[in-house]
Structure 1
């Protein structure tokens, strides 16, 4: 019991947000008469929040380094506008427009990263300027008009689903995906546990470990069965899964990830330890630019139009997702998985409050309180550890 308590305290933000997500889903399931967890609504939740989750993955890296990026919503809108001009007005092939859009996002990130990393202008100021600049450029290139429709193949980024193996009522690809993910998860957890035991790290008991595996495998398969009961696995979910796995690996298993955490924890100490702090900061902002471009493309594909108002408040939702998911406002702390959980908390709150008929005024107020409580909880735990 003592080991369990210690493990929970060590990961209190992450576990706390998972518990909060479960409680929020249970509450809104009761309030909506089960509507929240219907397969069609679960699919809609994924589609509606996909572009915010993509942004949250990049934003958590920026926050871990001790910075902030207020421009991502405007960058997403600008890249969406560029892609529309290329595909709709100039008849570029979709893949060419996507590649050019991603390069544009990287260049924008490099532009902002240069001012933050090498000129040493605070990221708040640089990205605030970027927010205004790229919002203005979006309106200029679109001339105040929406551009649509996109080619059908491009729309499938956000609205398409993986094809099924057979014409059955239940999507077999989703069922098989659940089984494969369960096996991979179990093998990965067993490997990690053996490595921890080999180096004499503290681990949970065998019984608790098995219970955790059973519960998470059940969650994975229930989730994929719900998707299978509607239309299967959305294409955007595949993209999200790849990004989550890739960035979790980079942050948890590579030198680059350790350098990002070191920079956020103590920049001077990281520099003295050999971390090229300016270079790390620069590439974190380049990465954020690319992910903002992906988010803009996903949103444009879902809306089937590029509009001057696209991306409004995306940056606030992404930042809120990171802080709710356990990132520290002072840098050095945060995980990709935590940012995704924080984004899902915000998404379920939005969806649940809409289903029960709460107005946008109440929704904004409640989300603001949730964010404030999450950051206050972080400060409380930090002060408690320091005491």
Structure 2
């Protein structure tokens, strides 16, 4: 009997040590990174072009629009809502940018500000309808998806509007110098090191369990190595693409908002339990309206990047982008039930979606297969999310 008890003690100690090693790691995020690696290896074996610096540069540039939309979509879904209009807002605000630049000949700064204001106002209008008129977000944004697409067709006369402003076009097509990429990678590495060790000191100060130093150092080496490898790969082509920098900046800003501000904590509280959030004094209506304003603003930023990259605004711009953004969020670990989701996970999800698109295109697969594969992965991600929640509920 004593031997059995001793064995149980050893097992318990082993389990606690494993929790110390991996308990604080975002398992879903690391799983998604592993999925990206497997997808890349799969397409790399089937088509040697996939791993060329030029293709990877194009892949990350293509990913930027979906990633920007997903950053805004995460917080909306976390709060328990959905936004089906972001693709149409991308199309409409892209058309507005082209009209201001081409037809009206306005300076680049005025074009950018006008486009961003238009996106924010469209989001604000939808947020007001959802928050203060209690119309379900699904209905409001579904209607918005059709209305905004119709307005785009009307104001552009169903024609493509080219953009020739070199400064505007550079926002979607220019590259930073190779030296800038190295400096950026170094800054990221220093930031990661300070963040990791600050967190260690904070946990130790308040008496919480601290992961072994070797684990944190290993994580830092892996993340730092991946960062430098990414920068060197981009540098071997033309350098760091402008759109990627936009994604990084927006990801940092909204990660800070989500994790370090009262607004962010309130959003997660609303998604976790709206009734409890209301009883605790959170202004749910105001927060909801602000969330939709953010998605409108980010849709306008995505429109600027897309229009600049294509050097034109088309009537089909942004079509189906809302589904890619939602899929990126869900694949990255955001729960459609609300209360759970991260910006980092959404960006990884966007990378998964874009990698599939890019790889299947290189293989010459028909477009219908791309829809089938991406749709199947989305269903699988939701199934996994619901299954994991059901298991947690049974354990509780």
What is the aligned counterpart of 1:15 among 24, 30, 34?
30
Counterpart Cα distance in 2 of 1:192 and 1:123: 38
Partner of 1:30: 45
Please say if residues 196 and 216 of structure 2, whose CA atoms lie closer than 8 Å, have aligned partners that are also in contact: no
What is the aligned counterpart of 2:237 among 230, 233, 244?
230
Q: Deviations over 1:221-253 (max 9, x none)?
A: 111111111111111111111101111111111
Please say if residues 81 and 138 of structure 2, whose CA atoms lie closer than 8 Å, have aligned partners that are also in contact: yes
TM-score, normalised with respect to structure 2: 0.93
- The residue correspondences of 1:189-204 to structure 2 (distance < 5 A) are 189-204=196-211
Please say if residues 45 and 351 of structure 1, whose CA atoms lie closer than 8 Å, have aligned partners that are also in contact: yes
Q: Deviations over 1:1-33 (max 9, x none)?
A: 634457459733222212211221222222223
Please say if residues 72 and 131 of structure 1, whose CA atoms lie closer than 8 Å, have aligned partners that are also in contact: yes
SS at structure 2 position matched to 1:230:
coil
Counterpart Cα distance in 2 of 1:205 and 1:9: 12
Counterpart Cα distance in 2 of 1:300 and 1:10: 38
Aligned length: 379
Partner of 1:289: 296
> Is there any run of 5+ residues in structure 2 with no aligned partner, and where?
1-13
Counterpart Cα distance in 2 of 1:314 and 1:201: 43
What is the aligned counterpart of 1:44 among 38, 58, 65?
58
Partner of 2:360: 353
What is the aligned counterpart of 2:341 among 324, 327, 334?
334
> Is there any run of 5+ residues in structure 1 with no aligned partner, and where?
165-170
Counterpart Cα distance in 2 of 1:84 and 1:49: 22
What is the aligned counterpart of 1:158 among 172, 190, 193?
172
Please say if residues 4 and 204 of structure 1, whose CA atoms lie closer than 8 Å, have aligned partners that are also in contact: no
Sort the Cα spacing of 1:75 and 1:149 in 2 relative to 1 into closer, same or farther, 3 A. same
Matched, 1:275 2:282: yes
Partner of 1:208: 215
Partner of 1:177: 184
Please say if residues 21 and 344 of structure 1, whose CA atoms lie closer than 8 Å, have aligned partners that are also in contact: yes
TM-score, normalised with respect to structure 1: 0.95
Counterpart Cα distance in 2 of 1:357 and 1:8: 42
Please say if residues 163 and 308 of structure 2, whose CA atoms lie closer than 8 Å, have aligned partners that are also in contact: no
What is the aligned counterpart of 1:60 among 71, 74, 77?
74
- The residue correspondences of 1:117-136 to structure 2 (distance < 5 A) are 117-136=131-150
Counterpart Cα distance in 2 of 1:145 and 1:215: 48
Deviation at 1:150, TM superposition (A): 3.0
Counterpart Cα distance in 1 of 2:156 and 2:305: 18
Counterpart Cα distance in 2 of 1:209 and 1:9: 11
Sort the Cα spacing of 1:8 and 1:380 in 2 relative to 1 into closer, same or farther, 3 A. farther
Partner of 1:368: 375
Please say if residues 163 and 169 of structure 2, whose CA atoms lie closer than 8 Å, have aligned partners that are also in contact: no
Q: Deviations over 1:30-83 (max 9, x none)?
A: 2223x3222111110111121111000000011000000000111111101111
What is the aligned counterpart of 1:310 among 317, 322, 326?
317
Sort the Cα spacing of 1:222 and 1:385 in 2 relative to 1 into closer, same or farther, 3 A. same
Please say if residues 335 and 385 of structure 2, whose CA atoms lie closer than 8 Å, have aligned partners that are also in contact: yes
